[in-house]
């Protein structure tokens, strides 16, 4: 299959891209922004999207491709490729769950072109990076010709493949909190084949005190709702304890009891819910073990 005809625009500065996006949108034209294209190109080829204009951001690598430490955060440019995140010593040291997540994304060809900005903007609730962004309460910077705004992931992901990104905005940067001391992170997923989108995925972060008691715990789930689900509110009972695997399992079962994921040809609702419980238990237990090994 082939995409419909469209104008192809290749800006060489971010300001030029924002100006073009604003003007085309104001003219009433449908515009898509191309980063890595690993999600967009199949959508175009199947004509699920038929834009009038395609704005290619790949000439902006010099301003939108970076990984920079910033106090207790890491700033990542929207055009940073998956393989760069996977190979980055800075990411591995400060946000190791991203290193783990990147190894689960597609295959080498996908990771060589796909970008963090494209993954978040596409907002597939089964994808790894939206899950990690929700788990860590990352924030995204959205720029238009007239303003710049930064919002948390919880406000960015609205529904299935839907975000709060306005038609005149480009996602330019992601800001991710770094791993606290005495903390561990883990991402666990199940897919039919390596490289496929996950049927369900769970991410966890656990911080312990000097006595190895849980001081803070976070949990997020993907593939079981229209957006990544933050399940952290149900983990208060772990605080101040040294839980065993069975304790974590019982708590996760209670947290997940109200989940009602949609079924499809790959897995029915009950199977996805069972997977969510199993993967959540594994993620929390693994993150806890890592935190105790610090």
Distance CA 5, CA 167 (A): 20
Q: Could you give all domains of the chain from N- to C-terminal order, each with its CATH number?
A: 7-60 (3.30.43.10), 61-177 (3.30.465.10), 184-292 (3.30.390.50)
**CA-based end-to-end distance of the chain:** 52
Task: Write down the pLDDT at residue 79.
Answer: 98
Q: Which of these, 119, 22, 87, 14, lies nearest to 56 by C-alpha position?
A: 14
Angle, vertex CA 123, rays to CA 78 and CA 203, nearest 5: 90
Q: Which residues contact 55 (CB under 8 A, 6 or more apart)?
A: 9, 10, 11, 17, 20, 21, 24, 31, 32, 33, 34
* Count, residues in the chain: 294
The tens digit of pLDDT for each residue in 104-113 reads 999 999 999 9
The answer to whether residues 93 and 110 touch, using CB atoms and an 8 Å cutoff, is no
What does pTM read for this prediction? 0.95
Flag residues of the chain having pLDDT under 70. Answer: 1
């Amino acid at each position: 299959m082939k995409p419909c005809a469209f104008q192809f625009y290749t800006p060489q500065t971010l300001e030029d891209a924002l100006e073009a996006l604003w003007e085309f949108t104001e003219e009433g034209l449908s515009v898509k922004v191309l980063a890595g294209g690993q999600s967009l190109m199949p959508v175009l080829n199947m004509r699920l999207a038929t834009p009038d204009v395609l704005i290619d951001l790949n000439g902006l690598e010099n301003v939108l491709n970076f990984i920079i430490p910033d106090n207790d955060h890491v700033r990542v440019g929207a055009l940073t490729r998956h393989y760069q995140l996977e190979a980055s010593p800075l990411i591995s040291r400060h946000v190791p769950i991203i290193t783990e997540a990147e190894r689960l994304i597609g295959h080498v060809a996908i990771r060589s072109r796909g970008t963090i900005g494209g993954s978040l903007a596409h907002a597939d609730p089964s994808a790894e990076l939206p899950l990690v962004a929700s788990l860590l309460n990352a924030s995204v910077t959205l720029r238009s010709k007239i303003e710049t705004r930064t919002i948390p992931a919880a406000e960015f992901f609205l529904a299935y493949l839907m975000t709060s990104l306005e038609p005149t905005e480009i996602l330019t940067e992601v800001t991710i909190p770094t791993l606290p001391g005495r903390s561990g992170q883990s991402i666990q997923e199940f897919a039919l084949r390596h490289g496929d989108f996950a049927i369900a995925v769970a991410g966890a972060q656990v911080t312990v005190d000097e006595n190895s008691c849980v001081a803070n715990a976070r949990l997020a789930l993907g593939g079981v709702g229209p957006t990544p689900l933050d399940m952290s509110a149900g983990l208060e009972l772990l605080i101040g304890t040294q839980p065993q695997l069975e304790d974590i399992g019982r708590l996760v079962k209670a947290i997940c009891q109200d989940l009602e994921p949609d079924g499809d040809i790959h897995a029915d609702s009950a199977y996805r819910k069972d997977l969510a419980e199993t993967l959540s238990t594994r993620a929390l237990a693994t993150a806890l073990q890592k935190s105790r090994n610090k």
